[in-house]
Amino acid sequence: MSKFLQTAGAIWLLIAWQGAGRTRPEVPKSLEPPAGEEVVLEAHAKGVQIYACQLGADQKSAWVFKAPEAELTDAAGKTIIHHSAGPTW
């Protein structure tokens, strides 16, 4: 549990640092956040959702979610964090 709290704290600090001085981007009306909300992190994500074909209880094949694999990067292309199956970041 201690490692989890350390990781959560580090992520929170990273997000707070990344968001300092950010302005709210223009988005469609349907996606606007509530008034008073601030941008805390701006990142680019590139990755995949991994699925596996498995037999279900009915003996029929179905796609089942297995794991995510993604890299979040800053504006300079530097990796901020790697997201994968977990709960790990």
Domain map (residue ranges) of the chain: 1-41, 43-89
pTM of the entire predicted model? 0.47
pLDDT of residue 20: 54
How many whole angstroms separate alpha carbon 61 and alpha carbon 54? 5
How many whole angstroms separate alpha carbon 59 and alpha carbon 64? 14
Contact 64, 70 (CB under 8 A): no
Q: Helix, strand or coil for residue 66?
A: strand
Residue 85's nearest CA partner among 55, 61, 43, 51 is 51
pLDDT of residue 34: 85
Work out the percent of the chain whose per-residue pLDDT is above 90: 30
